[in-house]
Structure 1
Amino acid sequence: MSSEQLAENKKPHVVVIMADQLRADFISPQFTPNIYELSLQSNRLDRSYCASPLCVPARGAFFTGKYPNETGCVINPWAKEDKDYGFVKSGTPNLYQLLEKEWDSWHTGKQHLLTEEKFDTEPDAKTTWLPLEGRFPAYVKEQGKRMPGGEAFRGLVPEMSGGTTTRAKGYSIPTTGLYEDGIDTFFDGFILKDSLHALQERDTNKPFFLSAMFLAPHPPLDIPEPYYSMFLAEEMQLPDNVAKWSKNQSPLQLYNLTGAIGTRYSLGEWRKIWGVYAGLVRLLDDCVGKIIAELKTQGIYDDTLLVFTSDHGEMLGSHQLWQKMCMYEESIRTPLFIKLPQQQVGQSYETLVSAIDVIPTICDYVNVAQDVNFSGKSLRPLFEGGKLSSKHLFVQFDGNGARSNFQRCVVTQSNKLIVDIFKDELFLELYDIVNDPQEKENQAFDHANEATIEQLLQALRQHMEQTGDLLTVPANAYTAFLDRYAPFQDN
């Protein structure tokens, strides 16, 4: 849509659909026919990355257009000692607040944009909030059904709290099961019902904004038919890096939930898990398809700026890891499709894009928040034939429910450097993500890469300083890494 068209037309409707823990490589006619069709009509950002591979900080960054360091939200605030690090700072504008003044604003589904001022519960909030939390358990109980998941779908892992004390904490494991009560009392069936309700009850005198935050394909992998049996284990084609520990992969992952759980499962077990995960992805796709169908039924699809993405990815056994919380492509790469109003033919872009670029892009197209100092950049110049500077892209992880396992990552068009930190250890990984997309060979031990590593470390240090990172990477990080780990590297 050109600038002239935007000026002539009324403000477009805005719909943001976010999956939770969706691998980018599952977008295909086989697993996601509706989302795939949407992608063909959209601007496809093929090198899109989350700002943090964890739900709450990822969403805090996405909805504010700022890095986690800047929002103050760097972990999920589950541990009492560290919970203050899990909330977006008071006074940080987010998309709901920016649109609800003029748009009929609705939220459905998972509400993991956590803020200090608890903006979603303020009495003068203009957004209609239909969160999953609280409402869904009450609904399931009212229907006389059981909640999906349960203790069989959770396992104990070690987690350091307050930087000093290890506790045993229960988190999701890749147990699979049939949820016998059907989609109507499943998480995403409930979210879909709320989303269609929002569309049908919207104020037609205003432009419409819907933020539909689905839970799928986040575990528990306790899912209803026909999705549970839709994809057979023996038919799943798994990448070569599933159930394999890569050459010189960071051993510090074994202290993290990713490795503590992921290393327990064999290739055969992962194959079955992949089949059920694929079924949950198809369930999500059907929900997305029904939202798109309702937009078309109401005649507003063409007038809608529609974003589809995921908060982060999922390892699903790649590198012998589970969930996200690490810097490999499967965890931090995200699907990102932006369909502009009146757009019918899509285009793909290889430009490096961060999740923090999405909100500035939306605001640019709908002409709001011109005075907001976003850290992300609008992608509108890219979509209108220009180029964007994307030399470096940054991702951070500071622990799950507490500050404990730290990772920093810098990505370029061809390389990725990962800094993995646990207590007093620092481990480096360098990958050629063009020629080694499954990141099977860590090249950080090759002295020929010293100049590249030092350049990337310096770019990372500068970014950390500019964004107020609570951590620092020492000047001798590379030499200290080699001195400590080179004697033990894989041959």
Structure 2
Amino acid sequence: MVTSPVTIRPNVLLIVADDHRADCIAGNRESGPATPVLDALANRGTLINGARIGGGHNPAVCVPSRAAIMTGRAPDRALKHPRSQCNSENQEIREDLTTIGKTFRENGYITHVVGKWHNDTKSLNRSFVGGTNIFLDGMSEHENPLLHDYSPKGNYGVETAHVVPGFSSQIFADGAVDFLQKREQGESPFFLYLAFTSPHDPRTPPEEYRQRYDAKRIELPQNFLPEHPFDNGELLIRDEQLASFPRTEDEVQRQTADYYALIEHHDNELGRVISALKESGEYENTLIIYTSDHGLAMGSHGLLGKQNLYEHSIKVPMILAGPGVDQQDPIKNDIPSYSIFPTLCDMLDIPIPATVEAESFVDLLTKPREHRVTEPTPYFSHYRDIQRAVNWKHWKLIRYEVGGEVRLQLFNLSEDEGEMQNLANDHTHQAILHELLEALETWWSHTARIGMVERDESTVSSFQAEKAE
């Protein structure tokens, strides 16, 4: 909750990781990665336990997810060509949409980008007036990546790229620190977008961090399986071929150890950025937001990648700390990660652009607990045309259609967080199954008709009214 009105407009530091599972923080190096910097941010502010992505048609889920964060719209509605697959065209953010960077720039902020930008360069230059160590591709080796300098004229061709020696997380942190150290006292507030490529594969952490994790002591996820029980439509995509079939416990432990080490390393590098904020005198007046573009399976349900709709892949970590955000218990509401945009606008008294469709969750941060609106609404997500899901209260339904065959999974998340007990064929749960399926199909018929995803308000409101207690 806000403890006092903001009298000096705060800076904003928005950090987006790549492939960071929501449950991979605050670990002990066996049950999860050690993340002391993120833990301190969460203790200082608010952790959003129900933050989720909306999915998209692109197997590179980070493309629609990052476009959504930038525009405050559902992933496919943020992209110019939402159904294009894995090419430069599919990265384009719609030109008629106002990005978060452009909004802050037009409201007196110096906007600066560091790290991964997996969308088009025109939207990058609409959003930012400067940048350092910019990565324009989807993935690469972490060592000595090929990066770009910010170009005011938008020149980001092959000829302008250059290799930067070092490790990706350290290089991106260097860019953020350099920006903070070169700022002059009394300069306009800044909006700094810092995007890591960690912990995305290749899972090659610096050796110092790799040695902190004993693969044999890594705890397997409770929903570990050697293989997925049925064809979900993407069992052979690149991400799933990073380990042998069937999955072995030893291999999943080894890859998870390296995954945790990557997270601990970028957590440490984030600590250097926060130290630079403190040294500059800007720390107390900077809103810090941490999230990820999506989660990752890492052995859960026999999967490795993010091309699925289980909680481990659609939930993301989200932490807010800084002026206006008081310490409080984690917020459990289902919140789209792309709601960050309108929420920041509300917190900083910046008009929300008309093209933003996500709703601000500022009330959850600012209102006393007894006055918060906590009644859940259906939360829809999809992956391509083959998987779609709805979360409502503690229930979750996933529908698959692969090769003309339809499968349903119904989970009671309050009793089955790992989504291992499929209740779809249990006669005692047929009423909620059909209710959720009807809502999902109504939403999807609208989605499929226009080729994009948008929230069908009539579906949500009617379903909510019928099920209100």
Shorter-chain TM-score tier? 0.7 to 0.9
Residues 74, 357 of structure 1: alpha-carbon distance in 2 compared, 3 angstrom cutoff? farther
CA separation of 1:270 and 1:390: change in aligned 2, threshold 3 A: same
Kindly indicate whether the alpha-carbon contact (under 8 Å) linking 2:72 and 2:358 is maintained by their aligned counterparts in 1: yes
The reply on whether 1:119 has 2:123 as its aligned counterpart is yes
1:19 partner letter? A
- Where in structure 2 are the equivalents of 1:166-245 lying within 5 Å? 185-202=166-183, 204-245=186-227
C-alpha distance in structure 2 between counterparts of 1:138 and 1:280, whole Å? 14
Measure, in 1, the Cα distance between the counterparts of 2:386 and 2:140.
36
Which residue is 2:248 aligned to?
Answer: 266
SS at match of 1:359: helix
> Residue 45 of structure 1: which of 32, 45, 48 is its match?
48
Which residue does the alignment assign to 2:157?
A: none
CA distance in 1, matches of 2:252, 2:412: 26
Mark the CA change 1:74 to 1:458 in structure 2 (over 3 Å): closer, same or farther: farther
1:78: Cα distance to partner?
5.4
Aligned twin of 1:397? 383
Separation in structure 2 between the aligned mates of residue 356 and residue 367 of structure 1, nearest angstrom: 18
CA distance in 2, matches of 1:78, 1:251: 18
Matched-pair contact (CA < 8 Å) for 2:240–2:305 = no
Counterpart position of 1:317 = 299
Aligned to 2:341: 359
Tell me how far apart the structure 2 counterparts of residues 138 and 47 of structure 1 sit (CA, whole Å). Answer: 30
Q: Secondary structure at the match of 2:207?
A: coil
Distance in 1 (alpha carbons) for counterparts of 2:327 and 2:430: 44
Equivalent residues of 1:57, 1:73 under 8 A apart: no
Given the alignment of the two structures, is residue 108 of structure 1 paired with residue 114 of structure 2, yes or no? yes
Q: Would you say the 8 A contact 1:306–1:338 is kept in 2?
A: yes
Which residue matches 2:62? 55
C-alpha distance in 1, partners of 2:91/2:414? 34
1:184-216 deviation digits (Å, cap 9, x = unpaired): 611111111111111112354201111100111
Q: In the alignment, is residue 64 of structure 1 matched against residue 71 of structure 2? A: yes
Task: Tell me how far apart the structure 1 counterparts of residues 301 and 329 of structure 2 sit (CA, whole Å).
Answer: 32
Give the number of aligned pairs. Answer: 419
CA distance in 2, matches of 1:45, 1:79: 31
Quick one: structure 1 residues 136 and 458, their matched pair in 2 at CA, closer, same or farther if it must change by over 3 Å?
closer
Structure 1: gaps spanning 5 or more residues = 149-182, 399-404, 473-491
1:18 aligns with 2:22: no
1:429 maps to which residue?
Answer: 409
**Distance in 2 (alpha carbons) for counterparts of 1:243 and 1:120:** 40
1:269 CA drift (Å): 0.9
Cα distance change on mapping 1:421 and 1:139 into 2, 3 Å = closer
C-alpha offsets along residues 236-263 of structure 1, whole Å, 9 cap, x if unaligned?
Answer: 11222223446x6555343555555554
Q: 1:335 is matched with which residue?
A: 317
Structure 2 distance, partners of 1:41, 1:233, is: 32
Q: Residues 433 and 33 from structure 1, CA distance in 2 versus in 1: closer, same or farther, beyond 3 angstroms?
A: same
Contact 2:233 2:386 in 1 (8 A): no
CA distance in 1, matches of 2:197, 2:395: 32
CA distance in 1, matches of 2:396, 2:116: 31
Contact 1:360 1:376 in 2 (8 A): yes
* 2:290 aligned residue: 308
Q: Helix, strand or coil: the match of 1:411?
A: strand
Paired-residue identity, %: 24
Aligned partner of 1:440 among 415, 420, 433: 420
**Aligned residue identity for 1:91:** D
CA contact (8 A) 1:46 1:350 kept: yes
Matched, 1:369 2:351: yes
User: Contact 2:118 / 2:137 at 8 angstroms: preserved in 1?
Assistant: no
CA drift at 1:333? 1.1
Secondary structure in 1 matching 2:330: strand
Q: Distance in 1 between matches of 2:136 and 2:353?
A: 36
- Amino acid of the residue matched to residue 391 of structure 1? T
Instruction: Give the counterpart letter for 1:99 in structure 2.
Output: F
Structure 1 residues 382, 139: CA separation in 2 closer, same or farther (over 3 Å shift)? Answer: closer
Please say which of residues 91-100 and 222-231 is displaced more in the overlay: 222-231
Letter in 2 for 1:22: H
Q: 1:314-372, CA deviations, whole angstroms, 9 ceiling, x for partnerless residues? A: 11111110121111111111111111416463431111111121111001111223342
Offset, 1:88: 2.3
Q: 2:266 aligns with which of 266, 278, 284?
A: 284
Aligned position for 2:459: none
Root-mean-square deviation (Å) = 3.1
* Distance verdict in 2 for CA 1:190–1:135, change over 3 Å: farther
Q: Distance in 1 between matches of 2:138 and 2:54?
A: 28
Q: State the one-letter code of the partner of 2:5.
A: Q
State the 1:136 CA deviation: 13
CA contact (8 A) 1:109 1:212 kept: yes
Q: Is the 8 A contact 2:388 2:398 kept in 1?
A: yes
Classify 1:290/1:237 alpha carbon distance in 2 versus 1 (closer, same or farther; 3 Å).
same
Deviation digits for residues 426-473 of structure 1, max 9, x if unmatched?
32211111111111122222243332122212322343456665289x
Distance 1:279 1:136, change over 3 A: same
The residue type equivalent to 1:438 in the other structure is: G
Partner Cα distance (2:139, 2:196) in 1: 16
Cα distance in 1, alignment partners of residues 191 and 253 from structure 2 = 39
> 1:136 touches 1:190 (CA, 8 Å); kept in 2?
no
- Deviations 1:9-38, CA, capped at 9 Å, x for gaps: 121111111111011111105310110111
The residue type paired with residue 50 of structure 1 is: I
